[in-house]
Amino acid sequence: MFRGVVMLHVESAKYHDGYKIVVTFNDGSSHLVDFEKTVFNDSRAIVSVLKDLTVFKDFSIQNHTISWANGLDFAPEFIKACSIKVLNEIA
């Protein structure tokens, strides 16, 4: 086992507007994350349903990441990579 290595987790997420979510990670950072490119550029049906904002807004935190009712989730590292603005830097 790797000691001192902490896996990135989503601690909280709150809908912002459009396809944006404010996400706080277990490393203490908070980010404004924009999923619009992902939702509109990924042609898989499981992702395409998120084009409906009502569906997009209906997410929860499960298994340390953002999840939707259809079973879709993204790795926390991918979510952080979609960040368009850092709201709170790591101390």
Query: Per-residue b/e over 43-81, b at no fewer than 16 CB within 10 Å?
Result: eeeebeebeeeebbeebeeeebbbbbeeebbbebeebbe
Please check whether residue 3 lies inside any domain of the structure: no
Q: Is the pLDDT of residue 71 over 80?
A: yes
Q: Is the pLDDT of residue 91 over 90?
A: no
Domain hosting 26: range is 10-88
Please check whether residue 38 lies inside any domain of the structure: yes
- Can you give the pLDDT at residue 58? 97
- When pLDDT is cut at 50, 70 and 90, the band that residue 88 belongs to is confident
Please check whether residue 61 lies inside any domain of the structure: yes
User: Which tens digit of pLDDT belongs to each residue from 14-64?
Assistant: 999 999 999 999 999 999 999 999 999 999 999 999 999 999 999 999 999
- When pLDDT is cut at 50, 70 and 90, the band that residue 3 belongs to is low
The two three-digit tokens of residue 56, written as one number:
């997009």
Number of domains in the chain: 1
